[in-house]
Amino acid sequence: MRYLPHTNKIRQEMFEEIGIKNIDELFVDIPKGSLLGEEVGIPKHKSELEVENILKNISKKNISVSSALNFIGAGAYYHHVPAAVDHIIQRSEFLTSYTPYQPEISQGTLQYLFEFQTQISLLTGMEVSNASMYDGASACAEAVLMAQRVNKRKKVIYSGYLHPHYIETSKTYTKYSGVKNIFLPLNTNSKSEDFIDHIDEDVCCIIVQNPDFLGNIKNFNDLSEHCKKFGVLLIVVVTEILSLGVVNSPGSIGADIVVGEAQSIGNNLNFGGPYLGFFSTRKKFVRQMPGRIVGQTSDVNGNRGFVLTLSTREQHIRRDKATSNICTNSGLCSLAFTIHMSLLGEEGLRRLSKLNHIKAVNLSQKIKDIDGVSLVNKNFFNEFTISLPKSATSIIDSLIDKNILAGVPLTRFYPNREDLKNYLIIAVTEMIDDQQMDNFIAALRGELI
């Protein structure tokens, strides 16, 4: 590498200062076989402006959800986020706050986390919630570990309609914990699963999703009652939290633990993260719940205050008694959620949820009129699955050229399932208008002629 004379002098002075003769001495602890033998093919000596232009041109290869017709869901949903949310979260007292160990100087942070917990408890119909987790998948895995702590059993039953990413994350978490995982198959021809035959006194918990991975809305009241007879915990996963504006809460159908993804409220899609996991349960299980918990208290003058509670947890002195290795929360994302929910209010949330549902119903009716296409679902919220007369992947690839993101093919998650190759998951949110629906239907019909 060539350097200008003055840079050579600066480099030599730096070497002398830290006591080395050449730059290779900085890497003596790295095995020679692990060092690059040739230069990396990246541009050199570019100005900031040049780098920006290069990256901008690279980014143009992507199709953005904001510049295309977007029907992608399957756990990540494109919703409108009010400008006020972004404005408020960038206030310095929120943006720069981190770990609220000193409550006397962290009341703002602690209060919004307390409000977040309250909102999640109200939405899920549960008694207590934590201050958020990294994402829905890790929250699901943590729920499995918590269920083990509660009833000391090892057998876990996973619904075949649970999001595959949540299943894979739970597999990873439980790999060395002695758990015996039982995975029921995904069957697109059946609207129910026979959990009853699998339940016995050795089962720790059952994990279901509502609405499920295909978009179906189910009633788990009977399953909940059967679980109670055997001391089995029912874990309900929600990947589209907006559904709780109109769908019965998991708490009302007998859930013991409710986890999921809250990205839909206040948080934009952003190449897979950061996301916002939530976790709620019954009060009697609160000491086994992972993550942070903010509690309400009073100061010496009787004024309302907030503080981290039950804090002999993973980040403190009794870490050997930790319920989890996750010792933080998605603070900024939960703040965005709390702001958006506060702006919506209960009535606004219900109206937004109903709008999503109505739009999805309208699109499903139009799709059913296309020859060879059938709807898999009997009921759904804002997401449903269709069966096509040809490969879903081939149709998606063709529609991308027309600036349409048509949905998610099941084979993306089940690449070895030939029987699923014609199935497509479609999500509809408030971001899609009637004309865009008609454009999508026309394009889809054109692909099937």
More confident residue, 318 or 222: 222
Angle at 118 between CA 116 and CA 122, to 5 degrees: 120
Confidence band, pLDDT 50/70/90 cuts, at residue 2: very low
Look up tokens 């007292």; give the residue.
Answer: 93
Q: What is the CATH number of domain 69-79+346-448?
A: 3.90.1150.10
- Three-class SS state of 408: strand
pLDDT given for residue 3 in this prediction: 47
pLDDT given for residue 33 in this prediction: 86
Asked if residue 192 has pLDDT above 90, the reply is: no
Measure the N-to-C terminal CA separation of the chain; round to a whole number of Å. Answer: 60
pLDDT given for residue 37 in this prediction: 79
For helices 331-368 and 434-448, give the axis angle rounded to 10 degrees. Answer: 60
Q: What is the CATH number of domain 83-341?
A: 3.40.640.10
- Quickly list H helices, 181-259: 221-230
For residue 333 the two structure tokens come to 């994302």
pLDDT given for residue 106 in this prediction: 87
Confidence band, pLDDT 50/70/90 cuts, at residue 35: confident
In this predicted model, what pLDDT tens digit does every residue of 94-112 receive, in sequence order? Answer: 877 667 878 888 898 999 9
Instruction: Please report, for residues 38, 70, 274, 401, the alpha-carbon distance to residue 63 in angstroms, rounded to integers and kept in the order given.
Output: 34, 10, 20, 10
Cβ atoms of 109 and 331 closer than 8 Å: yes
Confidence band, pLDDT 50/70/90 cuts, at residue 1: very low
Domain ranges of the chain: 69-79+346-448, 83-341
pLDDT given for residue 44 in this prediction: 76
In this predicted model, what pLDDT tens digit does every residue of 279-315 receive, in sequence order? Answer: 999 999 999 999 889 999 998 899 999 998 886 555 5
Q: Picking from 30-44, 63-77, 227-241, 391-405, which range would have the lowest pLDDT averaged per residue?
A: 30-44
pLDDT given for residue 38 in this prediction: 83
Extract the runs of DSSP E, i.e. beta strands, from 47-105: 69-70
In this predicted model, what pLDDT tens digit does every residue of 398-429 receive, in sequence order? Answer: 999 999 999 999 999 999 999 999 999 999 99
- Average pLDDT value over all residues in the chain: 92
In this predicted model, what pLDDT tens digit does every residue of 209-251 receive, in sequence order? Answer: 999 999 999 999 999 999 999 999 999 999 999 999 999 999 9
pLDDT given for residue 311 in this prediction: 64
Angle at 94 between CA 93 and CA 98, to 5 degrees: 100
Report how far residue 338's alpha carbon sits from residue 116's, in angstroms, rounded to the nearest whole number. 5
For 385, residues 6+ apart whose C-beta sits below 8 A from its C-beta are 188, 214, 215, 375, 376, 377, 410, 423, 424, 425, 426
More confident residue, 8 or 155: 155
For residue 180 the two structure tokens come to 């015996």
pLDDT given for residue 259 in this prediction: 98
- Three-class SS state of 74: coil
Report how far residue 153's alpha carbon sits from residue 279's, in angstroms, rounded to the nearest whole number. 21
Report how far residue 308's alpha carbon sits from residue 277's, in angstroms, rounded to the nearest whole number. 19
Look up tokens 């709780």; give the residue.
Answer: 244
Report how far residue 11's alpha carbon sits from residue 21's, in angstroms, rounded to the nearest whole number. 10
pLDDT given for residue 315 in this prediction: 54
